[in-house]
Structure 1
Amino acid sequence: MSRTGDNNKKKKDNNALNRQKNEHAQSNAQHGKHDYSKKTDHL
């Protein structure tokens, strides 16, 4: 079987992506978005 690879691919900068995700999550947490609470609203 022949091996087909793309040697011209750009490498992903996962550290930058993770840093961006963490900053986004941190800003959402500061604004109170996506909060998890065990308290039920319907009782």
Structure 2
Amino acid sequence: MATTGDNNKKKQDSNARNQQKNEQAAENARHGKHSYSKKSDHL
């Protein structure tokens, strides 16, 4: 079987990416963005 691996590929740092996403989500929550309320506003 032929191997198609690329030894020059950089490994992805998923922990750093997830930390950045969590920090962005926390920042948005502090500013009240993407807030979800189950209560309806029209009643």
TM over 0.5: yes
Consecutive unaligned residues of structure 2, counting only runs of 5 or more, are none
Normalised by the size of structure 1, how large is the TM-score?
0.83
Equivalent residue pairs, number: 43
Residue 15 of structure 1: CA displacement? 1.2
Normalised by the size of structure 2, how large is the TM-score?
0.83
Q: How much identity, in percent, do the aligned residues show?
A: 72
Q: Does 1:23 align with 2:16?
A: no
Q: Does 1:7 align with 2:7?
A: yes
Task: Give 4+ residue runs of structure 1 displaced > 6 Å after superposition.
Answer: none
1:28-39 residue pairs with structure 2 within 5 A? Answer: 28-39=28-39
